[in-house]
């Protein structure tokens, strides 16, 4: 889905020599501009004040979202990325917006925010038409079908906090791998911890240790395809809790696109 044919069959030799044809392909380019329809969706008017910091077009381009894709928004939070994806995948695509029951138990408003995010993409009887809600334990979303892409933004560290059931991180990461089609991609954005922050950074600072995350993801088979500096903020010392007013909204973050091999 992410390769564009630039030239069709090219003759490699004279017909008298039994020449064969070759297909020339070049990787498709993705730009923030191609997602302007999603950014300007009237359903996300209240989101726009966050766009300058969150750079939605740039991240959708980095994620290489195509029309017609089946995408999972894993740990959807307030629905910021769900609303963008709903338009980015087009009328033939699907978005599964997953809200963990653990999150809803901690903060019941997450259920209301999920309902609100789904509502603009339903028919006259309230049935989902393009965006489908999922609620289940964090490691068992119950995706109804294989996915082209999964996006998880600023919540990956939550898989490692001690409040989650034992073994959650291993089970959830394996689930993310298994949920994707061969060749599918996982896009992870999270607050970056200081080097060597380990599990303590996830628990106390809501930040993710880069090496811990990369090891956990590659151990199940993911390949880190590209790392973006889209949310790089070198001035962040990475030692404060991300909710601290001194740094909130301005944390240094990593953005990865990982691929499940074909």
Query: In this structure, are 9 and 51 located in the same domain?
Result: no
Domain count, the chain: 2
Query: In this structure, are 80 and 116 located in the same domain?
Result: yes
Query: In this structure, are 168 and 78 located in the same domain?
Result: yes
Query: In this structure, are 6 and 72 located in the same domain?
Result: no
Query: In this structure, are 17 and 135 located in the same domain?
Result: no
pLDDT at 27: 73
pLDDT at 3: 45
- Owner of token pair 């979303």: 141
pLDDT at 145: 98
pLDDT at 11: 34
Which two structure tokens, joined as six digits, stand for 91?
Answer: 């009328």
Query: In this structure, are 126 and 207 located in the same domain?
Result: yes
171-201 residue pLDDT tens = 999 999 999 999 999 999 999 999 999 999 9
Query: In this structure, are 37 and 14 located in the same domain?
Result: no
Query: In this structure, are 21 and 49 located in the same domain?
Result: no
Query: In this structure, are 77 and 127 located in the same domain?
Result: yes
Query: In this structure, are 126 and 100 located in the same domain?
Result: yes
SS (H, E, C) 147-165: EEEEEEECCHHHHHCCCCC
Low-confidence stretches of the chain (pLDDT beneath 70):
1-26
Which residue range forms the structural domain that includes residue 10?
1-29
């Amino acid at each position: 889905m992410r390769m564009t044919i630039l030239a069709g069959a090219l003759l490699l030799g004279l017909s008298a020599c039994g020449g064969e044809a070759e297909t020339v392909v070049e990787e498709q380019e993705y730009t923030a501009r191609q997602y302007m329809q999603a950014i300007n969706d009237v359903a996300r008017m209240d989101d726009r004040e966050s766009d300058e910091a969150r750079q939605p077009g740039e991240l959708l381009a980095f994620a290489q979202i195509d029309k017609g894709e089946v995408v999972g928004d894993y740990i959807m939070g307030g629905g910021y990325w769900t609303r963008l994806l709903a338009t980015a995948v087009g009328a033939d695509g699907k978005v599964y917006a997953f809200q963990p029951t653990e999150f809803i138990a901690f903060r019941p408003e997450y259920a209301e925010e999920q309902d609100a995010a789904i509502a603009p993409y339903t028919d006259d009887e309230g049935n989902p038409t393009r965006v489908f809600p999922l609620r289940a334990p964090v490691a068992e979303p119950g995706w109804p079908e294989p996915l082209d892409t999964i996006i998880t933004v600023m919540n990956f560290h939550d898989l490692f906090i001690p409040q989650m059931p034992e073994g959650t991180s291993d089970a959830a990461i394996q689930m993310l791998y298994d949920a994707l089609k061969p060749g599918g991609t996982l896009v992870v954005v999270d607050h970056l911890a200081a080097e060597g922050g380990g599990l303590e950074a996830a628990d106390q600072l809501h930040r993710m240790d880069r090496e811990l995350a990369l090891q956990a993801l590659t151990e199940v088979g993911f390949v880190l395809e590209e790392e973006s500096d889209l949310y790089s903020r070198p001035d962040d010392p990475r030692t404060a809790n991300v909710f601290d007013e001194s740094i909130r909204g301005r944390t240094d973050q990593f953005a990865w696109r990982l691929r499940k091999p074909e």
